[in-house]
Amino acid sequence: MKALLITFIGLLLSVSASASASAEWSVGTAKTVITPKKPMWMAGYGGRTAPADGTETDLFAKALLLDDGSGNSGVVVTLDVVGIDRAFSLDLCERLEKEYGLAREQIALCTSHTHSGPVVGTNLGPLHFYSVDPTQQKLIEEYAETLKVMVVGIVGEAIAAKLPARVQAGNGRSTFAVNRRNNKPYEEVPDKRARGLLVGPVDHDVPVLTARNADDELVAILFGYACHATVLGLNQWNGDYPGYAQAALEEKYPGATALFWAGCGGDQNPLPRKELPLAKKYGDELAEAVIETIDAPMPELEASLAVSFVELEAPLATIPTKEEILTNTKSPNRFEIARANYLLREIEQSGGLEEYYPYPIGVWKLGNKIDFVFLGGEVVVDYALRLKRENTGPDTWVAGYSNDVMAYIPSLRVLKEGGYEGGTSNVYYGLPALWDEAIEEAIVGKVGKLIGE
């Protein structure tokens, strides 16, 4: 019996080794233009007084399918928009499951956070959707529906285009992101940069994942950077620096699809800014960092993919009473009024306000090497630095602005310091209260557990 058991185990190991050796990546990509065809409201700034009046560069939705050949697959969708809300995300993922059998954990929805894109649904509701006229609200709703249909379409195209590929990963570096909380006034940044006097935490890593076909041609370039896409504030559609970076890479590598995801750039700005040539300059700098990484020896990832997704009950601080919210309907701030009316509708429909938010966290393990973390909201840089420090360093990739952009996500440090990223921005998102001080430990702890599992 012992000899038979040893033989059986040997056979199992042999089969396992054979399956592992034969497993290989398959990759598929697709993209489509998502530039609005009508002059609708733009997202990201509260100071705009009119809809978009033209197009400087097109906006895109792109999809990258990764399949490890062992029954595990996932799709990354990148969108040139400022953000999406939970309702949009839930509906889109349900459609993807119905059409293609994709489970929630197999889907990562990443936004570039360009402030020169359209409003999508009720994302930043009090700032946009609940503050514009009914005609614009209708256009916003129609665009959100159209965008879902287009995303479902390109995911299907990416699945259909799946071909064997070699997948590689590496990290580059680009330094135009500046901690915007610690380097004011912004006008002094160029001089401080030249003199080496910039302060505050930053994450200048440029994670890069590539896929090559059987002819060794690049077919996909997935890359990220932790910085706001706020170079521009014009009234024309524009992908900002991420759009220019993607365009530069696709020009450099014809036939490849370049996809950008935003890192933990909640407190990071491209400085100086406000000029169109600067957006292109930063895009070219980021593209060059990606090119240098591709040209350097990039480790090949073994064909292995594990995916996970949870919604964490992220704790909020003290929830306001209905009477306090009613008082805010008389605020001199029109955005405070919009949030108050939104919260009153929530109370009427649901009977009250929750003391937590269903915060989305995704973790993918690629090739037993890269821990790819997808966090919702405008995450400050402290999270990326801490997660890298506590896990696998630069091989821990941390995307923000993913799956649901519901508010800024401050670290405990930023929350205690206060300010825009610390919580005053919550009014524009419609969050009823500040985050509880346990928010950082809750998120980092859950990410660590998912990585460990």
Distance between CA atoms of 232 and 364, rounded to whole angstroms?
A: 33
Taking the model in full, what pTM does it have?
0.94
Do 45 and 233 contact (CB within 8 A), yes or no?
yes
Residue among 326, 328, 420 nearest 378 (CA): 420
pLDDT band at 5 (very low <50, low <70, confident <90, very high): very low
Q: What is the CA radius of gyration of the chain?
A: 22
pLDDT at 9 > cutoff 80: no
For residue 438, give the DSSP letter. Answer: T
Tens digit of each residue's pLDDT (9 = 90 or more) over 38-94 = 999 999 999 999 999 999 999 999 999 999 999 999 999 999 999 999 999 999 999
For tokens 């346990």, name the residue: 438
How many CA atoms, within 13 angstroms, populate the side-chain half-sphere of residue 436?
A: 15
Tens digit of each residue's pLDDT (9 = 90 or more) over 281-330 = 999 999 999 999 999 989 999 999 999 999 999 999 999 999 999 999 99
Tens digit of each residue's pLDDT (9 = 90 or more) over 255-282 = 999 999 999 999 999 999 999 999 999 9
Tens digit of each residue's pLDDT (9 = 90 or more) over 323-353 = 999 999 999 999 999 999 999 999 999 999 9
Which run of H or E residues covers position 137? helix 134-160
pLDDT of residue 22: 56
Tens digit of each residue's pLDDT (9 = 90 or more) over 169-215 = 999 999 999 999 999 999 999 999 999 999 999 999 999 999 999 99
pLDDT of residue 13: 39
Average pLDDT, the chain: 94
Cross-strand bridge partners of residue 205: 173
Contacts of 327 (CB under 8 A, 6+ apart): none
Do 144 and 120 contact (CB within 8 A), yes or no?
yes
